[in-house]
A = this chain, B = another copy of it.
Amino acid sequence: MKRVTAAALLFLSAIILTAQTPQPLTGRWLITSDFFGTTRYLRLDLDQKPDQLTGTLNGTQLKGSITGSHLALTGTSSDGGTSTFDATIQANTFAGTLTFTNPNDSPVTFHFTATPVPPLQRTTPQHHEFAPTVFHRQFSPFNKPVLTIAPGDTVHTTTVDAGGSDEHSVKRSAGGNPETGPFYIQGAMPGDTLVVRLDRLRLNRDWAGSDDGIVQSALSPDLAIKTRDNNKSIRWHLDLANNTATPDPASNPTSDHLKTLAVPLHPMLGCVATATGPAGAPPPTGDSGNWGGNLDFNEIAEGATIYLPVSNPGALLYVGDGHALQGDGEINGNALETSMDVQFTVDLIPGKRLSSVRVETPQTIIALGYSGSLDDAFRDATSNMAQWLTDDYKLTPSEIAQFIGVAAQYKVTEVADRNSGVALKINKSVLQTLTKTK
């Protein structure tokens, strides 16, 4: 674990304390508020000039003034609501009350504290060996971090399988994708992007659990009738030497055709997620959203990089639900569920707010869409890629349409969970032929 020396801390606070009020407030602030027992984070950007104070609160323009140590700020958002800060400046923070009024609601006032968001400090990358002892079944901001790491650091750890069994076949948790983590990433702030690169993802035992059911989303009426008696747990043998998986005949005694089946192993992580914001209900580890989660996408494998939005200080990264291999769709509900040896490296992109999950492999960029139907997931993946091409490649709407039209590869990630998922992949070889502009 990395340590910040007390001397460094002293030095930092000295700088802050020696400056006189009014402090130069210009910069990015994290507003932490207690809203009826619920913590909420807001991003405030201030621009302090000698003759005026302006700012932006989650998109709403604010104007303000400083009188002695008193700070006042107010602004009206496009929906007709008004936000008013009434605060006292103290050293390098300010605190006070924030009042929201809105035509369709009663006015409400609550307490907040503002802390400055410093520029990202990069340190010498560290390697952490981490052996998990506790496993979590919600992508919750309220679980205690198991390890604090810095941007650039690498963690080597393990995950238990979806049912909670570890590499020694010992049950360590109730099932439902118990996760390793959360990892606290120093400097991560709500509104940043967390970057997780899967450096290494390897099997660490010789069996996986699965079944012969078919999930509802994959069943047309005729297939439902045909497979109505399917209801078997299946154990698969993982042949690490030959890199193949075969169903164990003992769990499949009446099967004549799968005895020699040999499917190439392709280890992947079913879950990679940041904790969701503290204002909502923490989702179960079988769910997914723009924070990642149970994506069950078989290209989240060794060598992939995942980009996730940060909703809490420290980001709070979870990993779990390893699959020895998974067909697209994960139509059995289970893939080949197994424990995993995982090594990943994290990084941050400060101030970049992603609306959805992005993945990068050596050959492709991949925009994911997850929703209640494949049709909506398809649209979400397309929107997500359109935003990516706007952000990073500056394509116009016409160019986006032309480019996706010729370059898109759409595959189904999964239909096994509450959300169905679609991945929109584009080869970097085609991306690289785009004309760069300033």
Q: Which residues of B contact A403 (CB under 8 A)?
A: 258, 261
Instruction: Tell me if A51 counts as interface (CB < 8 A to partner B).
Output: no
What distance in Å separates the Cβ of A63 from its nearest Cβ neighbour in chain B?
Answer: 21
Q: Which residues of B contact A378 (CB under 8 A)?
A: 217-218, 329, 374, 412, 415
Inter-chain contact A382/B104, CB cutoff 8 Å: no
Q: Which residues of B contact A433 (CB under 8 A)?
A: 260-263
**CB-defined interface of A307-332 with B at 8 Å, one 1/0 digit per residue?**
00000000000000000011111111
Inter-chain contact B372/A258, CB cutoff 8 Å: no
Q: Which residues of B contact A335 (CB under 8 A)?
A: 405-406
Give Cα A140–Cα B30 distance, bound, in whole angstroms.
30
Give Cα A233–Cα B371 distance, bound, in whole angstroms.
27
Instruction: Tell me if A5 counts as interface (CB < 8 A to partner B).
Output: no
The interface-forming segment of A65-73, A83-91, A169-177 is A169-177
What distance in Å separates the Cβ of A143 from its nearest Cβ neighbour in chain B?
Answer: 12
Tell me which of B38, B327, B375, B407 contacts A375 (CB under 8 A): B375
Give Cα A262–Cα B409 distance, bound, in whole angstroms.
16
Instruction: Tell me if A17 counts as interface (CB < 8 A to partner B).
Output: no
Instruction: Tell me if A282 counts as interface (CB < 8 A to partner B).
Output: yes
Inter-chain contact A382/B218, CB cutoff 8 Å: yes
Inter-chain contact B375/A257, CB cutoff 8 Å: no
Inter-chain contact A36/B258, CB cutoff 8 Å: no
Inter-chain contact A223/B256, CB cutoff 8 Å: no
Instruction: Tell me if A280 counts as interface (CB < 8 A to partner B).
Output: yes
- Please provide the 9 A-B residue pairs with the shortest distance between their CB atoms, ordered closest to farther: A372-B372, A104-B209, A281-B284, A221-B224, A327-B408, A410-B412, A104-B233, A106-B165, A103-B251
CB<8 Å pairs between A and B, sample of 20: A36-B164, A212-B402, A214-B382, A214-B404, A218-B379, A227-B398, A230-B401, A245-B406, A254-B398, A257-B434, A257-B435, A263-B430, A325-B406, A327-B408, A332-B401, A371-B372, A372-B372, A372-B418, A372-B419, A374-B378
